[in-house]
Structure 1
Amino acid sequence: MITRRSFLTAGALVVAVPVGTAAGPASAAPGTELPDLAPTVFVRVDHHGRVVATVPKPDTGQGVRTMAAVLVAEELAVEVADVTLEQALGNTARYGSQSVGNSMSSRHITQPLRTASATARCLLVAAAAARWQVPVAECVARRGRVEHPRRRPLRYRELVGDAAAIDPATVPVTLTPPDQWRLIGRTPAGRADARAIVTGRARYGAESAPPGSLIAVVARPAWIGARVDTVDHAAALAVVGVVAVVRLTPPGDGQGGVAVVATSTAAALRGRDALRVTWTGGNPTADSRAWLADLETALPPLTGTPDVLRVFRLPLLAHAPMEPMNATAHVTASEVRVWAPVQNPGGLRTQLAAQLGRPEAEVTVTPTLAGGAFGRRIEIDPVQEAVACSRTVGRPVTVRWTRDDDTRHDSYRPMSVHRLGATLGPDGVPTGRVHHVATWPLTVSAPFSNPAVVRASGDHFPYAVPGEVSVTLRPAPLRTGFWRSVYAGQFAYAEECFLGEIARRGGHDQVDLRRRLLPAPSRLRAVLDAAAVRAPAPDAGQSRGVACHFEYDSAIAVIVTADPAARKVLRVTAAVDVGVPIHPSGVVAQVEGTVIDALSTVLGAQITVRDGAVVQSSFRDYAWARITDCPEIDVVLVRSDAPIGGLGELAYPPAAAAIATALAGSGEPVTGMPYGVEVG
């Protein structure tokens, strides 16, 4: 049963004014409408009986809106299609943390949404029982109405007024028990907003600008760390449609540049081409190969003589979301309005208010659908650029990054070098290990300047092999930021590839060796066994890669079958335990998407720097997997009694490691990412 305290902490209580008596239907004064039933800010049943869920987190592709619809429909005894979804504006005080990161969406929204919906249901049932003058226990909510064996069913719209007049603290509230769930963990439905997305009615960032908005593109630094020296904007201002040229000096870690504001994207791009900008400072001779060598020299001296020793080199990676960075802002004397695909609308609102010296009440942040994020949209530099442009021209401005902008001016996943050593027992099973890491901090987040924080983010080694792990940080020579799975994608990649090599050297089966080193029983053992049962044995000429990972209170095991000679991944089997899979098909989609990221980075996608600039500019040379590269992907859901776990980043580390190990086969061992390609 939900206590008064737990109910009140689940959301802001809406106080309802009594509009009727317990014995009869509510009535409204002429010309007025009955109130909505809104037990918290997350859920309401309006006076027409319509169920509305306010989604506090932005949807960046992880399906948080669909999860919200499933949770609310379950507890309010309606169908998913009966739930109207509304996206919350940025407001931390009202909705709590709105950050989408660290695979927290499902864990953050589940309890508040279930509690609010269950409260609304119990109030509706109590109102019906009072109307009928029967015990509450004889009444049941079903299909958007309250039923009783000897009474005419009452639809929610007939009960909203009475229910809104009841003090929620006087009604016992009980969540629907798992054995009565119709939808949670059971629904085969797709995304709640799928039809709007595929028909083009859904609006992403750059499509959400108000009428009359101008367009801006930015001339960005010619080399890493450069700042604007001089600007000759005469030719740019002469371009038809160009309205203004704005020199950008964003606060914090922004890169700066010169924005051209115009009436159309084409005019803005022509104006940018016409600019004459000189740059100063930075490092015009930077080379990522030298950075990698510097990291390798930063590794601490090796003590002892391991039986197996391997060095892994991992590259820079760009985020490459399908929707490049963009933001729209309108700054006036009385308010600041922003429309943007962001990962933390509430935090953005607070940051903008502080930077602009405005009260938060004057700042409105409307989060839009995002065409991917992967950690990049936690940063606010596109919004800062739009705000600066709008302040200059006095009109709403949409800043659009081109694909080249997005690739060459990202905040990249840091490079890293890993040295792993292992001592082996007589049977070839590891008995001790050492893992030394040299990498860079995340420049966009101060806590990650601490090696202990980097280690805590990356070191999730699950096997019973004692050892030493150390992290050495060198100053980052360019902007670095959160990238899907952060440091775990680097630590676990090296560790699992290394364990795969040890298994081959000792003649051990990849699955059997891991089973020996994992505690039993454990959730990791369970998913490993499930994947092993599901994955077919490799045919002649094929090889297998295996990897496990536990993070975000979730467990996953990945088994990959590949044809090393053809450099082709054939099949990926992933068994995952996220506790309660709120929306099973969403779990499958998340794992599938992460596997494609892993495949892409193992097969060849990396960012390199030559002569001070990023070489890659788009998907033509930052080579993400094509359809012809994609294997069969089989996702197995392993259910457990564990609390709801996170998922968005979970599959990347083991999928990348298992893919690389399978591609290596019995040939050249894995020593980096991409596999078989020069790193850096």
Structure 2
Amino acid sequence: MKISRRTFLGGVLVVGVPVALPGSAQAADEFAPNVFVRLDDRGRITVTAPKPESGQGVRTMVALLVAEELMVGLDDVRLEQAHGDTARFGSQAVGGSFSARQLHEPLRRAAATARCLLVTAAARRWGVPVEECAARDGAVRHGRRVLRYGSLVRDAAALDPATVPVTLTPPERWRLLGRTRAGRVDAKAIMTGKARYGIDTRPPGTLVAVVLRPQWIGAVVDAVDDRAAKAVPGVVAVTTLDPATSGQGGVAVIARSVPEALRGREALRVTWRGGTPTADSRQWLADLETALPAVPTAPGPVAFEATYKLPLLAHAPMEPMNATAHVTAAGLTVWTPTQDPGTLRLILARQFGLDQAAVRVETALTGGSFGRRIEFDPVLEAVACSRVAGAPVSVLWTRDDDMRHDSYRPMSVHRLAAVVDAEGVPTWRAHGVATWPLNILPFFDNPDIVKANGDHFPYTVPGQVDVTLRDAPLRTGFWRSVYAGHFQYAEESFLAELGHRAGLDQVELRRRLLPADSRLRRVLDVAASRAGHVRPGVTRGVACHEEYGSVVAVVADASEGRVRRVTAAVDVGPVLHLSGVRAQVEGGVMDALSTVSGAQITVRDGRVVQSSFRDYAWARIDQAPDVDVVLVPSDAPVGGVGELSYPPAAAAIAFATGRPVTGMPVGVGVG
């Protein structure tokens, strides 16, 4: 690759990034060939991570990509988190398992550009051909001659980049990518409490706000008596939040400390109106069941039909929602854990009539997202509170707030039917779905989009999938794997039941329905081989999934109703971060175990019943099975993995533990 002269602006070489940096300049003792990589005259390498870190390991992957191409160790790379700026960094959203797919080539090229410029600078200083020089361990070498990177930054920065070809390190020569079990680069800071999450953010003079939120679904403030709240020592202000502009609405109490804010909230007297105070999720589920599409005409006798009912689910990240904002005459600064700082900046500028240059979004380390932090309601609350207080304000959600005012994974009901051959193998299928759209985004109010997002049936069985949507009666949003978690759970559970009724081996049934040369059949064979023979007293569940440019097969073994071992074989194309891929698969398995075992959100009398991990039954450590993740190499393009394992793991665990008959979770009152 050659770099256009037009990208060399103001002394900064800009490559491998969406947009050049007009008017930017680099220091005399610094070499900044692009917005991702910077070297100083002491050889220190600083890398800017353009996307947020919420536990998925994106910052470690970024560091590995750069260290690989700069021929240095992982410890030689320092990380900085990018602030929100789409013009500078392009899309900064994390979601849809896109991070690795979007970042791997631009970041490798960014680092490779720096390396090639440094090598060229050294070659010209020595007066030798570039081909005779090599970069290694933070230096350029030619025979016994060595020049450290730091001594070359001025020469490299002065080069015309259009004259320097850039080559990437081929995978067979990788030292770090896919070759090392590197842990997270911020693991030590996290373990020692030095890492600063969004909830830790406290700029000088920061006040704290908590919100008394609507007391039933859809309610709005009718009247507020805040006299007792304002009398609480430390309370600075009380303000009503407009749900049209300031999040989900309610009444915010702004104080000098968290305890004072909470005491002020307890002292509020608020009456509410509107909404649905009698809402009940059991009725919602029944309504969805009556809305199921009719089973289409089958090409033969329908051998089996089943209905699966899936409940509401909350995101429940370990770090509850929070945001800090400071509104001044000069503009707006926000500190927040978010999945999309660039878009957040654009939205804030547009909503408040500000120039983008007057809005700064500082991206905090995030204690879990799972789709929830693609939304910005806590930020809008913080901005509204800061405008009232005239100071930076940190809005904190309690665990109860977080559980009862989430954007939930929608309920859904699935009716499946099949025609089978003489051996019980399906030859035709029908899948009818009744569910809700994701009402945080208008374009999801479309059955075709829901179907395209959810239906990834990988087997060679013709049939028909029909989707009916009903208006969501509460706030719904993205949840790990989105609609694929619904569709694949029902489809794989149904296929497992067909195999069980026909006395067919679960692995062999799927092998017969997959093309012989498919990636998915290959990982299925690997997973089955790794799991070994089924031992007496063990029930085995099997499921497959293909999405995000990756494939996975999951084998779950259970005894006495408890899953003991899960084997997952995964093909994500070239593996960039070994430990990261394993961790993402393991996390999906644990989410699957939790939802299959009983975690759900229910609504009674217009209110969400669950309020914490006490009654939102997420799996505990002593329930965790042994998880064996097998990485299957391939020459496919880099694929995503963050959401890949959840759908098949849920179906495999459900069958193995005897819970797939009517949906997840069984026996605890779905809805």
1:416 counterpart residue number: 412
Matched, 1:670 2:661: yes
1:574 counterpart residue number: 568
1:454 counterpart residue number: 450
| One-letter amino acid of the counterpart of residue 327, structure 1 | A
How far 1:292 sits from its partner (Å)? 0.3
Mapping 1:312-351, distance limit 5 Å: 312-351=308-347
| One-letter amino acid of the counterpart of residue 155, structure 1 | R
Matched, 1:495 2:487: no
Equivalent pair of 1:511/1:532 in contact (CA under 8 Å): yes
Mapping 1:178-189, distance limit 5 Å: 178-189=171-182
Q: Secondary structure at the match of 2:617?
A: coil
Match for residue 134 of structure 2 among 140, 165, 176: 140
Q: Matches of 1:102 and 1:418 in 2, distance apart?
A: 23
Provide, for residues 495-544 of structure 1, a one-character-per-residue CA deviation record: whole Å limited to 9, x for no partner.
Answer: 00000001111111100000110112111011101101111323222100
Q: Matches of 1:253 and 1:456 in 2, distance apart?
A: 32
Match for residue 389 of structure 2 among 380, 386, 393: 393
C-alpha spacing 1:448/1:11, structure 2 compared with 1 (3 Å): closer
Equivalent pair of 2:280/2:604 in contact (CA under 8 Å): yes
C-alpha spacing 1:419/1:559, structure 2 compared with 1 (3 Å): same
C-alpha spacing 1:288/1:170, structure 2 compared with 1 (3 Å): same
Q: Matches of 1:181 and 1:446 in 2, distance apart?
A: 44
| One-letter amino acid of the counterpart of residue 246, structure 1 | T
Mapping 1:234-245, distance limit 5 Å: 234-245=227-238
Equivalent pair of 1:11/1:112 in contact (CA under 8 Å): no
How far 1:44 sits from its partner (Å)? 1.4
Q: Matches of 1:400 and 1:554 in 2, distance apart?
A: 37
Equivalent pair of 1:204/1:368 in contact (CA under 8 Å): yes
2:41 counterpart residue number: 47
1:473 counterpart residue number: 469
| One-letter amino acid of the counterpart of residue 469, structure 2 | L
Mapping 1:107-506, distance limit 5 Å: 107-149=101-143, 151-251=144-244, 254-304=247-297, 306-506=302-502
Provide, for residues 596-654 of structure 1, a one-character-per-residue CA deviation record: whole Å limited to 9, x for no partner.
Answer: 11100000000000011000000000010011111001000011101110111111100
Provide, for residues 238-292 of structure 1, a one-character-per-residue CA deviation record: whole Å limited to 9, x for no partner.
Answer: 0011110010014369420000000110000000000000000000000000000
Q: Secondary structure at the match of 2:32?
A: strand
Q: Secondary structure at the match of 1:236?
A: helix
Q: Matches of 1:466 and 1:514 in 2, distance apart?
A: 15
C-alpha spacing 1:290/1:576, structure 2 compared with 1 (3 Å): same
How far 1:16 sits from its partner (Å)? 11
How far 1:47 sits from its partner (Å)? 2.1
How far 1:168 sits from its partner (Å)? 1.1
Q: Matches of 1:233 and 1:16 in 2, distance apart?
A: 51
Q: Secondary structure at the match of 1:412?
A: coil
Equivalent pair of 1:215/1:261 in contact (CA under 8 Å): yes
Q: Matches of 2:133 and 2:41 in 1, distance apart?
A: 21
Q: Matches of 2:327 and 2:22 in 1, distance apart?
A: 34
Q: Matches of 1:8 and 1:234 in 2, distance apart?
A: 59
2:642 counterpart residue number: 648
Q: Matches of 2:403 and 2:307 in 1, distance apart?
A: 28
Equivalent pair of 1:12/1:40 in contact (CA under 8 Å): no
1:34 counterpart residue number: 28
C-alpha spacing 1:525/1:33, structure 2 compared with 1 (3 Å): closer
| One-letter amino acid of the counterpart of residue 10, structure 1 | V
Q: Matches of 2:283 and 2:322 in 1, distance apart?
A: 33
C-alpha spacing 1:265/1:669, structure 2 compared with 1 (3 Å): closer
C-alpha spacing 1:96/1:13, structure 2 compared with 1 (3 Å): closer
C-alpha spacing 1:594/1:33, structure 2 compared with 1 (3 Å): closer
1:25 counterpart residue number: none
Provide, for residues 369-400 of structure 1, a one-character-per-residue CA deviation record: whole Å limited to 9, x for no partner.
Answer: 10000000000000000000000010000000
Aligned length in residues: 661
Q: Matches of 1:398 and 1:510 in 2, distance apart?
A: 52
Q: Matches of 2:248 and 2:325 in 1, distance apart?
A: 19
Equivalent pair of 1:607/1:616 in contact (CA under 8 Å): yes
Equivalent pair of 1:14/1:39 in contact (CA under 8 Å): no
Mapping 1:502-513, distance limit 5 Å: 502-513=498-509
Matched, 1:75 2:83: no
Matched, 1:679 2:670: yes
Q: Secondary structure at the match of 1:586?
A: helix
Q: Matches of 2:2 and 2:56 in 1, distance apart?
A: 29
Provide, for residues 155-191 of structure 1, a one-character-per-residue CA deviation record: whole Å limited to 9, x for no partner.
Answer: 0011110000001111011001111110111111101
C-alpha spacing 1:227/1:16, structure 2 compared with 1 (3 Å): closer
| One-letter amino acid of the counterpart of residue 602, structure 2 | T
Q: Secondary structure at the match of 1:549?
A: strand
Q: Secondary structure at the match of 2:33?
A: strand
1:583 counterpart residue number: 577
Equivalent pair of 2:558/2:656 in contact (CA under 8 Å): yes
C-alpha spacing 1:351/1:16, structure 2 compared with 1 (3 Å): closer
Equivalent pair of 1:312/1:418 in contact (CA under 8 Å): yes
C-alpha spacing 1:89/1:16, structure 2 compared with 1 (3 Å): closer
How far 1:15 sits from its partner (Å)? 9.1
Matched, 1:555 2:551: yes
Q: Secondary structure at the match of 1:39?
A: coil
| One-letter amino acid of the counterpart of residue 543, structure 1 | T
C-alpha spacing 1:116/1:468, structure 2 compared with 1 (3 Å): same
How far 1:335 sits from its partner (Å)? 1.4
C-alpha spacing 1:33/1:319, structure 2 compared with 1 (3 Å): closer
Match for residue 10 of structure 1 among 17, 33, 38: 17
C-alpha spacing 1:252/1:524, structure 2 compared with 1 (3 Å): farther
How far 1:40 sits from its partner (Å)? 1.1
Provide, for residues 296-318 of structure 1, a one-character-per-residue CA deviation record: whole Å limited to 9, x for no partner.
Answer: 10012224452110000000000
Matched, 1:61 2:68: no
Q: Secondary structure at the match of 2:590?
A: helix
| One-letter amino acid of the counterpart of residue 625, structure 2 | P
Which piece of structure 1 moves more, 529-538 or 347-356?
529-538
Equivalent pair of 1:2/1:174 in contact (CA under 8 Å): no
How far 1:567 sits from its partner (Å)? 2.3
Which piece of structure 1 moves more, 8-17 or 173-182?
8-17
C-alpha spacing 1:17/1:466, structure 2 compared with 1 (3 Å): closer
C-alpha spacing 1:46/1:273, structure 2 compared with 1 (3 Å): same
C-alpha spacing 1:364/1:33, structure 2 compared with 1 (3 Å): closer
1:22 counterpart residue number: none
| One-letter amino acid of the counterpart of residue 474, structure 2 | L
2:11 counterpart residue number: none
Match for residue 523 of structure 2 among 502, 524, 527: 527
| One-letter amino acid of the counterpart of residue 69, structure 1 | A
| One-letter amino acid of the counterpart of residue 661, structure 2 | V
Equivalent pair of 2:593/2:650 in contact (CA under 8 Å): yes
